Every structure is written in structure tokens, then in C-alpha cells.
Amino acid sequence: MKPLTLKSPAKLNLFLRVLNKRKDNYHNIDTVFERIDLSDKIVLKPRRDNKINIISRSKDIPKDGSNLASKSAEALRRRFNISRGVDIKITKRIPVGAGLGGGSSNAAAVLLGLNRLWSLGLSRIRLARIAKDIGSDVPFFIYDTTFAQGRGRGESISALNSLKKVRLWHVLVVPRVKVSTPMVYKNWDKIKKDHQRAFKLDPEGQRERLTKAKYGVNILSLGLKNKDLSLVSRGLFNNLEQATIGLYPQVRKIKETLKKMGAQAVLMSGSGPAVFDIVYSKKEAIFFSRQIRRKNRSWQIFVTRTA
């Protein structure tokens, strides 16, 4: 069989509210995903033996069974008693460990691709059930949707069909640091305890913050549909930001740099450190990207849009 080539897109979190820690040590969240056109390339090439082989020039990803793409292939093989092997070639463009879901997207691309290559005939719903055991963000990339709400660990996906026609441009800024997501959530747990103590001292102030989080998705959706950046900026929310900034202060510096340049809608994606701005034209995105490059040439800067 001929090799199969697939795009593996990144995601942004336009809204991310961490709710509580679960008994399995994961966290329940409420999030809004956006698929963007910054993407990796995956090539699946059938092998004559039963080996699953990861090939990549990237020094930032594992080449063994711990790679999520490899885990995807192994999950399908075990479940459906497949005896064939596959070479998985990954050309990385999405920064690794940046809160953009690159590894999860690679895993989903492999599930979708091997479903075709091995003629399994699985629906996206069945693939998503397999995906949730590989990683919390993987199910989002299984579905053909540009915007979706994620609940539970992020694996319970609902397409936001009212945003089907929305197309956004972004300036995406990524400092050259790898964030440890477990460390960020550990810091969030600590901060939450501090907030619970603060609630007793300032109940009205804490209620106001909780209300903003509760209604953020509705405000965000309305702003996106109406192309109202003022409303969008009110709906953007990520309560992991404080936890990440405490460990990686570069995130604060990027946000401050963007805002000083006049950016209206700025947020960190996922557990960071990637920070994005929302604009409504390619011209404006290119203008901002050039200005930011003059400020700091060590940051990775991308102009990207909804995919």
C-alpha cells in the first residue's frame, strides 16, 4: 500500500476554566478549543513486519513507545488484533510543550490515518472513545470541527456549530521554554487553596471572579459571532495563567508586550507558554508579528488562522 500523508493541526484554548481535582489526579475542566492552520505533517508507511517505528528530525519528541502517536498505533493494534506494522514519520512545526496540543494532534492523525490504512471502518465516535485513553486533548482532533467545548478532562467534546463560519487571525508567540503541565496543575492546586482562604476574607471579590468564569463561554461566543473584539476580550479566560506565570515569567512579559502594542484580545493557550492575540485580518496579524520580532528575536512567532 502507498504511504498516507496527513495534516496534524494545532489548537488554541479560547477559554479554560479548571474546576477541581479528580480522584484519578486529573482535573475537571471547561474549555473552548479552536483548531488553527499551524500544523505538523504525518506520513504513515506500511511495514512488512509488525514494528511501530517513529521517524522524526525533531530532537524534542520521543522516538519510542512513549510518543502519543506510537501509543495510538499500539492501541488500535491491540484492540483489533492487527499484526501489521507502520512507519510514522513526523515533521514538526508546532512547538513542543507549548500548550498547542501538537502531541495530541499527532496521536489523533495516526488514529484517523490507520483507520483508513488498515481498513478498520471505525466511526469518529468510536475513534474518540479510543482517543480519550491516550490523552485528554486527543478526542478534539478526531472530530472535524473548528470550534468545540471540552468538558471532563477535556475529552468530552461538543461541537460549537454556531461558530462554524467564524474565522479568526492570530499572532502566536512562543518563548523557547518547555512547560511541565503536571507542575502547572500542581501550582494551580496550591493557588486554589490560597483562593479558598481569600474567599473567607473577600467573598464579594471572589464571587465576581467566579461569575466571569461561569458566563465566559456565552460572552465569548457572542463576541466571536458579532466580530466584537471588546466582547471577545471579556470572554477570554484561562485560570491556569497565574499558575504558569508563577513558574515561567516569560508568559507575563509576552502578554505585556502585546498589550503595549495595542492588542485587545490576548490569552495564554492551555498550560502555556504559548500566548496568542486575536485579530480579524491577515494584514493586522502580519503587522503585529513584525513589531513583536523587533522586541524579542528569541521568541517563536507565527501568523496563523482558524482551520
| Catalytic center residues | 11, 137
Radius of gyration of the chain from Cα atoms? 20
Chain centroid, CA 148 distance in Å: 12
Q: What Cα–Cα distance (Å) separates residue 174 from each residue in 65, 168, 178, 231, 285?
A: 27, 19, 10, 25, 15
Counting Cβ atoms within 10 Å, is residue 152 exposed (0-12), middle (13-18) or buried (19+)?
middle
**Separation CA 108–CA 45 (nearest Å):** 16
The torsion angle over the Cα atoms of residues 118, 121, 123 and 128, rounded to 10 degrees, is -20
**Separation CA 85–CA 46 (nearest Å):** 6
Q: What residues contact residue 127 under an 8 Å CB cut-off, 6+ apart?
A: 111, 112, 115, 142
CB count in 10 Å sphere of residue 47:
12
Alpha-helical (H) ranges within 66-101 are 68-80
Q: Which amino acid is at 188?
A: W
Closest CA to 154 of 166, 131, 137: 137
**Separation CA 242–CA 23 (nearest Å):** 24
Asked whether the CA dihedral 244, 245, 251, 257 is positive or negative, the reply is positive
